[in-house]
């Protein structure tokens, strides 16, 4: 029991003292057994007040302190640091929240707010009187990071981590790196192509010996915890012998009898099961699409480089952290959504981008020269009815940019932008200005009056009510309708399910806090970056990957991780191995080991978050939570029961 406790009651300017009688709180605190000194202060967090508290701790030999002020979320660590600087264990400090829980909550009841503040201070004093000194827990950690996804975000993060001295395993499910960026032509800004960006990053990855790149590879399972994960990786064979020449490969591709839709070109072309790479895809080696290959063997008869008998591999890797950069899928419109799938001149924006790359100087689609086109915006984004209520951010800029490129290819093109408000934000606004100067026509519709696409003989007709002309109904007969589709989470969520990464309402992976912890997940040591956590353009994806790389390195660089000591512990004598604790724990913090001649539950310290969900389900009260022991909590309850408030 502590018997030299200091209590400090904060005015918080007037946030507290305008409602709560802080002097009365101080006077009542002074009467509590074990309290050696009680003061009130205008701002407890001010430097002068911190210095005064530290001097009291030293001069009076205080063995515990209570600060009655704002939420611990704001200043818990501030006052822990004060205690530590003065030589007091920081876990012998308790903060009573008399601002959010008292003055703000009961601003119309000054007397009641004061009584409640007194009760909160009493309970805090009772808790700190039972507190025990604790020390942070340290565990060893491997300075190794596994990055899942070798798009621009994944490759950039790998390069940064490698340059800082970390070992990196870069795992890509496809046989080619580059992700979506490899599918884009000219980019904005600064005008280079997706291929050149991917090529640069791939060459940089290849230069670094501390990056191990695995293509055709999937993370299938994970064990362990932050600093010491053990992951299993499945590697699907490419079907081409290592170090084999490419002699006969082109002929082997030609004899392949299987033809399927080419996903790289968003279905506007077809490819064989023995695939050749596209410009922008690396490594520049052909591969076999195992899902569609019939194993007929005709390709192997033509080229010695083909080997249909290569076996799947399973490897185990030790890693300190895992970073997920798995990107997104473009929204695929439903059949008949704005005429998609009904009319051959209704395509998506990604398909238009591939047409622009594959066409020569003209724009010819399905054998027809295109001389007029209409973009319909927010297809799959900002849906009033549907799951995708978010804005995909990149689509307005991408559509306007593509319209400028179209005019460079076909100067006389007539372009309509049927939109719900153009969002070419920041530096990208210059594109909207250029498009307007080019003579593009902007038509705006409301979410309750979507455009309609129909057929009139050989012509595709777009009917829209334009709010910029007081709701006038317009009918357009463009040669081409382009649906400006947004971003959606990957259909394949196997990696998310394997790692138990939480997802938000938009189904993208969720960070702990969008501003304060923007690349961390609730799973320690598992970080997210790029579009897998929400719509971003390439620049924003790379920035988030750099943030994740910096956070990862700061975590692992010392090869030792310090953990908060507030965590559960099991009394093996009381444990009856009922498994209730491990069932209740959302973080996998329990394991069962031999102890005292029997099997008992044990807490894996690196996994425990100190949430306390295991405590109430234990039928034998075998689990204790340090910092919130039964003695501390029961003392707080007793103190509150004494209050008349």
Token pair for 516: 């304060």
Taking the C-alpha atoms of residue 422 and residue 377, their distance in angstroms, rounded to an integer, is 9
Q: Alpha-carbon distance 522 to 505, whole Å?
A: 16
Predicted confidence band of residue 160 (pLDDT cuts 50, 70, 90): very high
pLDDT at 644 > cutoff 70: no
Instruction: State residue 366 phi and psi, 5-degree precision.
Output: 50, 40
Q: Rounded CA gap, 388 and 382, in Å? A: 6
What is the model's pLDDT at position 247? 76
Q: What is the pLDDT of residue 559?
A: 93
The confidence score (pLDDT) of residue 255 equals: 94
- Taking the C-alpha atoms of residue 222 and residue 207, their distance in angstroms, rounded to an integer, is 29
What's the pLDDT band for 195 if we cut at 50, 70, 90? very high
pLDDT band for 645, please (50, 70, 90 cuts): low
Helix (H) or strand (E) holding 438: helix 429-438
What is the pLDDT at residue 633? Answer: 93
Strand 93-97 relative to strand 211-215: parallel, antiparallel, unpaired? unpaired
Per residue in 233-252, pLDDT (tens digit) is 999 999 998 877 777 888 99
Question: Residue 294: pLDDT band by 50, 70, 90 thresholds?
Answer: very high
Q: Is 205 helix (H, G, I), strand (E, B) or coil?
A: helix
Distances (CA, A) of 160 to 173, 184, 255, 473, 559: 21, 24, 43, 54, 18
Which residues, at least 6 apart from 590, have a Cβ–Cβ distance to it below 8 Å? 581, 582, 601, 602, 603, 604, 614
Place of tokens 């990604």: 350
* Cα-only R_g, the chain: 32
The tens digit of pLDDT for each residue in 492-505 reads: 999 999 898 999 99
User: 525, 322 in Cβ contact below 8 A?
Assistant: yes
Q: Band the pLDDT of 609: cuts 50, 70, 90.
A: confident
Q: Does 521 have pLDDT greater than 80?
A: yes
Nearby residues of 602 by Cβ (< 8 Å), 6 or more positions away: 570, 590, 591, 592, 593, 595
Neighbours of 7 (CB within 10 A): 29
> Is residue 353's pLDDT more than 90?
yes
Percentage of the residues of the chain whose pLDDT score is greater than 90: 85
Task: Find how far residue 44's CA is from the centre of its chain.
Answer: 36
Q: Judge whether 112 and 98 are in contact, CB under 8 Å.
A: no
CA distances from 411 to 26, 371, 566 (A): 79, 9, 67
Q: State phi, psi for 21 to the nearest 5 degrees.
A: -80, 90
Residues 422, 442: Cα–Cα separation, whole Å: 9
The whole-angstrom separation of Cα 569 and Cα 226 is: 19
Ramachandran area for residue 341 (φ above 0: left; ψ -120 to 50: alpha; else beta): left
pLDDT tens, residue by residue, 106-127: 999 999 999 999 999 999 999 9
Per-residue pLDDT tens digits for 120-156? 999 999 999 999 999 988 999 999 999 999 999 999 9
Does an H or E element contain 72, and which?
A: helix 72-85
Please choose, from the candidates 134, 138, 36, the residue with its C-alpha nearest in 3D space to the C-alpha of residue 90.
134
Q: Which of 8-12, 166-170, 279-283, 413-417 has the lowest mean pLDDT?
A: 279-283
Q: CB-side exposure of 546: number of CA atoms within 13 Å?
A: 6
What average pLDDT is seen over the chain? 94
Cβ contact 122:642 at 8 Å = yes
Q: DSSP readout, 441-476? A: EEEE--TTS--EEEEETTEEEEEEEEGGGTTEEEEE
Higher pLDDT, 539 or 471: 539
Res. 266: pLDDT tops 70: yes
Matching residue, tokens 């595709």? 460
Residue 242 confidence (pLDDT): 82
Q: Which two tokens stand for residue 57?
A: 């701790």
For a pLDDT cut of 70, what percent of the chain falls above it?
A: 100
- Cα distances (Å, whole numbers) of residue 548 to 161, 324, 524: 10, 10, 13
Q: Is the pLDDT of residue 188 over 90?
A: no
CA torsion 551→556→558→559, rounded to 10°?
A: 170
| pLDDT-based confidence at residue 643 (cuts at 50, 70, 90) | confident
Dihedral angle over CA of 258, 263, 268, 273, nearest 10: -10
Residue in the structure block whose two tokens are 């924003």: 540
pLDDT at position 538 over 70: yes
Rounded CA-CA distance 575/598 in Å is 10
Residue 191 confidence (pLDDT) above 80:
no
How confident is the model over 24-49, as pLDDT tens digits?
999 999 999 999 999 999 999 999 99
User: Cα(540)–Cα(529) distance, rounded to whole angstroms?
Assistant: 10
Q: If we measure between CA atoms, which residue out of 456, 461, 480, 452 comes closest to residue 344?
A: 480
Q: How far apart are CA 392 and CA 420, in angstroms?
A: 13
Q: Which residues pair with 487 in a beta bridge?
A: 330
The pLDDT tens digits of the residues spanning 48-87 come to 999 999 999 999 999 999 999 999 988 999 999 999 999 9
Report how far residue 557's alpha carbon sits from residue 86's, in angstroms, rounded to the nearest whole number.
29
């Amino acid at each position: 029991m502590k018997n030299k406790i200091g209590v400090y009651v904060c005015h918080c300017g007037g946030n507290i003292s305008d409602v709560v009688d802080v002097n009365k709180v101080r006077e009542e605190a002074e009467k509590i057994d074990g309290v050696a000194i009680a003061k009130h202060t205008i701002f407890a967090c001010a430097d002068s007040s911190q210095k005064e508290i530290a001097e009291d701790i030293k001069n009076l030999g205080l063995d515990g302190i209570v600060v009655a002020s704002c939420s611990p979320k704001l200043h818990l660590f501030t006052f822990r640091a004060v205690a530590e600087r003065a030589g007091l264990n920081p876990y012998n400090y308790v903060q009573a929240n008399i601002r959010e829980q008292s003055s703000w909550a009961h601003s119309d009841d000054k007397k009641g707010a004061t009584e409640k503040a007194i009760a909160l201070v009493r309970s805090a004093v009772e808790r700190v009187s039972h507190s025990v000194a604790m020390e942070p827990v340290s565990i060893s950690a491997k300075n190794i990071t596994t990055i899942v996804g070798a798009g621009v975000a994944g490759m950039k993060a790998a390069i940064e981590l490698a340059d800082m001295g970390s070992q990196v395993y870069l795992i890509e499910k496809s046989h080619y790196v580059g992700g979506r960026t490899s599918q884009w032509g000219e980019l904005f800004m600064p005008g280079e192509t997706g291929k050149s960006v991917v090529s640069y990053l791939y060459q940089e990855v290849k230069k670094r010996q501390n990056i191990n790149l695995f293509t055709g590879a999937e993370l299938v399972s994970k064990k362990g915890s932050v600093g010491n994960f053990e992951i299993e990786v499945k590697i699907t064979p490419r079907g081409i012998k290592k170090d084999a020449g490419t002699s006969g490969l082109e002929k082997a591709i030609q004899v392949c009898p299987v033809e399927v839709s080419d996903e790289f070109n968003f279905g506007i072309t077809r490819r064989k099961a023995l695939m050749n790479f596209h410009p922008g895809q690396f490594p520049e080696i052909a591969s076999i699409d195992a899902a569609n290959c019939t194993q007929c063997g005709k390709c192997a008869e033509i080229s010695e480089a083909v080997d249909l008998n290569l076996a799947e591999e399973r490897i185990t890797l030790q890693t300190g952290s895992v970073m997920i950069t798995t990107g997104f899928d473009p929204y695929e419109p439903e059949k008949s959504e704005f005429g998609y799938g009904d009319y051959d001149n209704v395509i998506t924006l990604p398909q238009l981008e591939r047409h622009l790359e594959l066409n020569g100087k003209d724009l010819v689609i399905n054998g027809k020269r295109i001389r007029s086109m209409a973009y319909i915006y927010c297809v799959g984004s900002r849906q009033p009815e549907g799951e995708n209520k978010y804005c995909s951010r990149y689509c307005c800029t991408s559509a306007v940019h593509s319209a400028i490129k179209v005019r460079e290819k076909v100067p006389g093109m007539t372009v309509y932008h049927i939109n719900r408000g153009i969002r070419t934000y920041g530096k990208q606004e210059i594109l909207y200005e250029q498009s307007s100067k080019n003579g593009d026509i902007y038509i705006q519709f409301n979410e309750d009056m979507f455009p309609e696409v129909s057929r009139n003989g050989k012509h595709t007709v777009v009917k829209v009510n334009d709010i910029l002309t007081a709701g006038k109904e317009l009918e357009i007969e463009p040669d081409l309708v382009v649906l400006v589709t947004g971003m959606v989470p990957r259909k394949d969520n196997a990696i998310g399910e394997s790692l138990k990464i939480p997802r938000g309402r938009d189904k993208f992976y969720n960070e702990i806090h969008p501003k304060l912890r923007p690349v961390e997940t609730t799973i320690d040591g598992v970080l997210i970056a790029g579009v897998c956590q929400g719509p971003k353009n390439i620049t924003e994806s790379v920035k988030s990957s750099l943030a994740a790389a910096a956070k990862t390195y700061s975590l692992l660089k010392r090869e030792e991780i310090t953990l908060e000591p507030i965590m559960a512990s099991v009394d093996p004598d009381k444990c009856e191995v009922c498994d209730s604790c491990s069932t209740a724990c959302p973080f996998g913090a329990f394991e069962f080991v031999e102890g005292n001649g029997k099997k008992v539950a044990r807490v894996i310290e690196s996994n425990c978050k100190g949430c306390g969900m295991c405590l109430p389900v234990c039928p034998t009260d075998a689990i204790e939570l340090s910092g919130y022991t039964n003695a501390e909590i029961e003392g707080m309850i007793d103190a509150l029961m004494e209050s008349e408030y």
